[in-house]
Chain A
Amino acid sequence: MNWQNVATIARKDLTVMMTRRSLRIALAVLPVGLAVLFSQIIARGSFQRDSLPQTLNAFLFFFMIYTGALPATIASYSLVGEKIERSLEPLLATPASDGEILLGKGLAALLPPVAAMWAGMLLLMGLCDAYTHATLGYLYFPNWMAAVTVLGLAPLLAIMAVGFSVLWSSRVSDVRTAQQIGTLAAIPGAGLYIGAVSGAFSLDLATLAVMCAILAAVDVALALAARAVFRREDILTRWA
């Protein structure tokens, strides 16, 4: 693995991505907008002192699920975009290996949305602390559950979305379908959401840890599958 090639490809993808206004807006507006919206619900709602901590946790969790659609959208856009422009052939003609190309593109699809999710989460936690400090008498965030959600679940969910997009991108060749993939990738998140709302599981540290373990296993499986799909021979003779 030549890490310089990985970095070169990731940097190029980031450059191209950031020239798209719609993506820049999605990356900036969605997390900030949701953070403000959620914190306003906390600020204006009449929550009991006892139920407040649980509500705050749930909001952070849901925030993660909503923003989890971003990496899928970006990854499928970047791969399907290369397919449409036919730019994979000259890229595959360079000495860069399949794995380096895949990893570079994966990282580029992962980093901006994860950074945007983190920024949004920090903002959400900061605003919630500001609004709830008086009621609770202490700063609710940061705490262990928040740490697991932000540093564990969020990136693991993003990796899953990217892996999923790579697999789907090998099958579709228009941006509209690619964007629908973004929606599809939200299904596991929606499942978690329904599970949490319906009380099928409670959002405690142990549950989150189990979720992390399951997501990590799914991520490894998806990464292996993506690696198997991303072979230059197949990309040039079958992907089109």
Chain B
Amino acid sequence: MIEIDHLTRRFGNATAVDALTLTIAEGEVFGLLGPNGAGKTTTIRMLAGLIGKTSGEARVADCRIGDPATARKLRGLVGLMPEEAGLYPDLSAARTLDFYGRLYQVPAGTRAARTERLLTMLGLWDRRDDRVRTFSKGMKQRLTIARALINDPPVLFLDEPTANLDPEGAKTVRDFLLQLRGEKRTILLNTHQLAEAERVCDRVGIMHTRLVAVGTPGGLRGAASARATSIRLAAVTDAVVAAARAVRRAEVTVSGNTLTVPVGQPERDNPELVRAVVAAGGDIQFVSGAVPSLEETYLKLLDGERLDGEKSDRNDKVAR
């Protein structure tokens, strides 16, 4: 549905997006993660036909981006929730959706029915005739989602859909995203919220001008960090630590009464580890897998990327 091939965008001398290559399948929910200035918004804007590319190619819903012949068609097939709401404070919610529906050439009957359905689903139907000026931030955010869906687009771009929302507001939006996922729409969403990406996305990509890593949230975590086993004991003794260290020949960390030991394959290594700890006189209370969070993975991958970047900068200087 979305095929991106070495897509690059420069602003003057600065590269915002560097040779991004990525394919997103129909019906997939893909999350683009990355720090401020990573090029996420620039990517979405290029794919939605709002700004041009410097080089590379991309096809969205079978339209080549940057092709004047299909530019109008492309914009008609895409729904966009931009970084900033950009609502008209003096229009009502219903009038807002009607306005955009007309511009997407949605017939009057469908427009009215869809407005009712979207506003009802997003909890705004009772406020449909109130001016957007009187809406809370969360209500505005939900209205921008409704606006992005008024043309029933097969492809949806969401730029930080839960930014600036309180936990409850974020949950409402997230639940709606999960609902959209059931409708077989292709969704590309930008976010800083790793927990959100983990819950909503089929795959995530970590971006920092370049695409640093791509995979399922679980897969990325596994790839980036070795696994570890945590053992909680009644008391941690030197004998226990020595025993654990002897089994795995690895750095063992102790925090309170918990021992964390890196393991290669938990299924193979844990029984031996537990036996050794028990033999050393340890009273085991709990054993659990210490899976790194997506956040840890993310920070680790970005750190690696920054180091690589510095290295190549140095190499550049040496070359010059």
Contact = CB atoms under 8 A, between A and B. Distances in A.
Q: Do A and B come from one complex?
A: yes
Interface of A: 4-5, 8-9, 12, 15-16, 19-20, 85-97, 232-233, 236-237
A90 to B, nearest CB: 5
B146 to A, nearest CB: 12
Contacts of B85: 86
Contact of B100 (A20, A94, A236, A237): A94
B88 A93 contact: no
B86 A86 contact: yes
Interface string B6-17: 000001000000
Contact of A90 (B80, B91, B105, B131): B80
Interface stretch (B71-79, B235-243, B300-308): B71-79
A237 B48 contact: no
A236 B103 contact: no
Contact of A89 (B86, B90, B131): B86
Contacts, number: 77
Interface residues of B, number: 32
Given A94-B103, A95-B72, A237-B51, A16 B88 contact: yes
Contacts of B78: 93
B11 A237 contact: yes
Nearest to B103: A94
Contacts of B51: 232-233, 236-237
B75 A94 contact: yes
Given A8-B103, A232-B51, A95 B87 contact: no
B310 to A, nearest CB: 28
Contacts of B95: 15
A4 B73 CA distance: 17
Contacts of B102: 4-5, 8
Contacts of A20: 90
B86 A97 contact: no
B292 interface: no
Nearest to B82: A89
